[in-house]
Structure 1
Amino acid sequence: MTRLLTAVLVASTLVSAPAWARLKVDDKASLWPRASMVDKIDFTDRMGKAMHALSPDLDSRYFMHCLEETTNIGDTKDLRLDDMVRTCLSLHAREAADPE
């Protein structure tokens, strides 16, 4: 009985958060809407930490909002997540240059 319970717990842990499911910058942008919230948070945290030196406004919240908006607006076709991150950086630069 203990072996069965241990096996079920290990299997459920592996299924719920597999390491190979982590979003990477070279993944297709079309994966974003279907990704788990944990994967999205992990990805935006990494982007926020990497880009925070460019501007304090480039944090995980900014990337979460921007990626949600840009990937859900239209057909991303063959775009990758790094294309979407560059788009977010471009939008941020444009907003910083032209504050309204």
Structure 2
Amino acid sequence: MLKKLTLILFFVFGAPSIAEARLTVTDKLSAYRHASSADRIDLATRLGKSFSALSPGLTRDYFIKCLEETVNIGDPRDLELDEAVRLCVAAQRGAGEE
């Protein structure tokens, strides 16, 4: 249910600006690792706008921190950003239940 809601929220709120953005959730984590700070902040801003309706803790700053940690820990291999975003959403949701 959460997975479907997340995708719906993203496409409703985030999809219109994807064409203008350099990073998208279908990019590989390696692309995020090599992207400029401005592109990373742009992606995190769009994610924060899309997901803040799901939970107030899912802000731009949260996504910046979470994606940085996810990308810099271990070998991202061929994982896509949407998988990292799902992990970030799940981690924030889990932290809120404690």
TM-score per shorter chain, which class?
0.7 to 0.9
Give the structure 1 partner of residue 85 of structure 2: 85
Give the structure 2 partner of residue 47 of structure 1: 47
Give the structure 1 partner of residue 58 of structure 2: 58
Give 1 or 2 for the bigger CA radius of gyration.
1
Structure 1 residues 44-77: Cα deviation after superposition (integer angstroms, max 9, x where no partner): 0000000000111111000000000011001011
- Any gaps of 5 or more consecutive residues in structure 2? 1-18
Q: Please report how far the alpha carbon of residue 21 of structure 1 lies from its aligned counterpart in structure 2 after TM superposition.
A: 6.8
Moved more, 60-69 or 24-33: 24-33
Give the structure 2 partner of residue 12 of structure 1: none
Amino acid in the other structure paired with 1:35: A
Q: Please report how far the alpha carbon of residue 30 of structure 1 lies from its aligned counterpart in structure 2 after TM superposition.
A: 1.2
RMSD of equivalent CA atoms? 1.5
Amino acid in the other structure paired with 1:37: S
Q: What is the alpha-carbon distance in structure 1 between the residues aligned to residue 45 and residue 21 of structure 2?
A: 16
Give the structure 2 partner of residue 31 of structure 1: 31
Q: What is the alpha-carbon distance in structure 2 between the residues aligned to residue 88 and residue 21 of structure 1?
A: 21
Runs of 4 or more, structure 1, over 2 Å off, are none
TM-score computed with the length of structure 1 as normaliser: 0.75
Q: Quick one: percent identity of the two aligned structures?
A: 49
Q: Please report how far the alpha carbon of residue 20 of structure 1 lies from its aligned counterpart in structure 2 after TM superposition.
A: 7.5
Q: Please report how far the alpha carbon of residue 32 of structure 1 lies from its aligned counterpart in structure 2 after TM superposition.
A: 1.4
Q: What is the alpha-carbon distance in structure 1 between the residues aligned to residue 40 and residue 24 of structure 2?
A: 10
Matches within 5 A, 1:59-74: 59-74=59-74
